[in-house]
Chains A and B, each alone.
Chain A
C-alpha cells in the first residue's frame, strides 16, 4: 500500500485533523493564561460535575424503576440527591452563563461555543421539566395539567404529550440527557480547542491578522 493511498484514507485524514485541532496539550492542558484567575471560572467545571451527580443518581433510580423511590427510604434519599444535584446544576449553569456573557466569551471565533452552551441550557430546562412531570406524584399531576396549555398552544402538544407519563419518562431518561451530554461534550471540546477567551483590550483599534 502506498503512502499516498494511506494519506487519502478517511481514518488517516480524520486522525490528522483531530491531532491538528486538538493536540494532547490542548485537551489536557497543564498551564493556563494568567488572566484565568477568578471564581467565575469554577462554575463551568462545577456545572459539569453536578451534571455527573445528576446522571449518577438518575442511573441509581433507573436501576429499580420509576415507582421505587415512593416506597423506599433509600430510594427517597437517592431522589433527594437527584433533586439537589439538579438545583446545584442549574445554579452553577446560570452563573456560568451570565459570567460568560459578561466576558463576551463568544469573541475570537467562539460563537459556536457560546451557542452550544445556550442550547445545552435550553435542553437542560427540558430535561428538568420532563423529570418534574414524570415523578408520578401530586407535583407531576399539577405541573403536567398546567403545562399542557402552554405546549399545546405551540402545536407541539400533539406530539409531545406532557400528560403521557411514559413518553415524558423516556424523554427524561434517554433523549434529553443524551442531548445534554453530547452538547456538553461538544462545548468542552470547543473550549479546549479555542482556549478561554482573553480579556477585553481597552486600548481602541487593535489589528488582527486574518
Chain B
C-alpha cells in the first residue's frame, strides 16, 4: 500500500465515528408534503401574473403614429431589426464580438429577416383587391435604389408632423412617391388585425414561430414604454423581473447585475461581454474541485464549523 500526504481540500478523512438511525423514505415523504403545502399556500395567496400579450393590432390602435414611424424605419432600414446583423441579416460592423471571437458573425445569417420586405412589402402584397395600392407597389418595385432613398428621405423629413385624422395617416410630404400610400395602408392593415396574421403565417397555416412579429414589436417605442411601466427595462434589472410584484427569475441576478455597470452597459458588445463573463464564472464553479486556491476557500472561510457544529462540539468535549 502506497501512502501519500493528505490534501485537506481534495481528500476526505475516513469516517470512524458513529451512525444514527435514518429513515430516508420517511424524510422524503415529509419533505414532499411540506413542499406541496408550501406551493399550494403561495399559489393561493400570491397567484401568478398573466399580462395579456400585445398584438400589432393593439399597438397600432393605441399609438398609430408610433406604428407608422416604426413601419417607415423598417422600410428605410433604420430600425434595430433592419440593421441588426447576424443571425437576421448582413450588416457590416453590427455583430457583437468577444475580443477576437466574432461568434455572431461567424455563424452568419440563419434566420433571414429583410425588414422592408418581410414587415412592409410582403404583407401589403397579400391584401386582395387593392388597385391603388397594387399600382403604388409596382411603382416602388420598378424604382431605382436612389429614387427610393429620395422618397424615403422626403417622407422621413415630413414625418415629424405626422397626424392621424379619422384613422388615416396624414402627412404633408412632397416627392415621397408611393411611400405615403404604403405606410398608410400598412397602418390600416395593422389596425384591422390583418398584419398580425400576415406576419405569423410565413410558414403556412400552422405556425408557432413568432420571430417576425416580435422583432417588429421590439422595434417600436410602444413595447419599451409598456415595459418601463412594468419595471422591466434593462436599467430596472428587467431580465430577471416579471410583470407585477413577483420574484421572477431571481436566480439571474448576477447575469443582470453586469448590465448595470461599465464596461458592460457602455460597450457595443455588452451582451457578448456579459455572456463571456458568466461563461467563465460558470466554468470556475464547475471546476472548483480542481482549482488550487479556489477549492481551499471553504476550509479557510470555516462556515463548515457552523454546519457541523455538533460534530466539532463532540470532538472538543473528548
Contact = CB atoms under 8 A, between A and B. Distances in A.
Interface of A: 28-38, 40, 42, 45-46, 48-50, 52-53, 57, 69-70, 76-77, 79-85, 87-88, 90, 94, 99, 101-104, 106-111, 114-115, 118-119, 122, 125, 128-129, 132, 135-147, 149-155, 157-159, 161, 163-167, 169, 195, 197-202, 204-210
In the A-B complex, list the 4 residue pairs whose CB atoms are closest, starting with the nearest: A166-B208, A108-B12, A155-B103, A158-B110
Interface residues of B, number: 108
B46 A205 contact: no
A103 B297 CA distance: 10
B288 A114 contact: yes
A30 B39 contact: no
B251 interface: yes
B87 A158 contact: yes
Contact of A141 (B38, B54, B299, B301): B54
B133 interface: no
Contacts of B245: none
B52 A137 contact: yes
B77 to A, nearest CB: 19
A163 B211 contact: yes
A151 to B, nearest CB: 8
Interface of B: 1-6, 8-15, 17-25, 27-28, 31-32, 34-36, 38-40, 42-44, 46-54, 86-87, 96, 98, 103-104, 106-108, 110-111, 207-211, 214-215, 217-218, 223, 226-227, 230, 232, 234, 238-239, 242-243, 246-252, 269, 271-272, 274-275, 282, 285-290, 295, 297-299, 301, 303-304, 307-312, 314
Given A31-B22, A132-B249, A142-B223, 5 more contacts: A34-B18, A88-B42, A103-B308, A107-B11, A119-B286
13 contacts: A29-B24, A33-B17, A79-B48, A83-B246, A90-B250, A102-B307, A104-B304, A115-B289, A136-B53, A145-B215, A153-B104, A169-B208, A208-B13
Contacts of A139: 49, 51, 242-243
Contacts of B6: 205-208
A10 B250 CA distance: 47
Contacts, number: 301
A199 B304 contact: yes
Given A46-B31, A104-B304, A163-B214, A138 B243 contact: yes
Contacts of B86: 152, 155, 158
Nearest to A169: B208
Given A34-B17, A101-B288, A207-B6, A49 B299 contact: no
A144 to B, nearest CB: 6
Given A80-B43, A88-B38, A207-B6, A161 B211 contact: yes
Contact of B223 (A46, A53, A129, A141): A141
B127 to A, nearest CB: 25
A154 B272 contact: yes
Nearest to A195: B15
Nearest to B11: A208
A163 B215 contact: yes
A26 to B, nearest CB: 11
Contact of B217 (A28, A36, A87, A145): A145
Given A146-B238, A165-B210, A76 B50 contact: yes
Contact of A209 (B3, B34, B269, B287): B3
B272 A84 contact: no
B19 A31 contact: yes
A38 B223 contact: no
B286 A104 contact: no
A28 B24 contact: yes
A201 B299 CA distance: 10
Nearest to A205: B6
Contacts of B2: 210
Contacts of A132: 242, 248-249
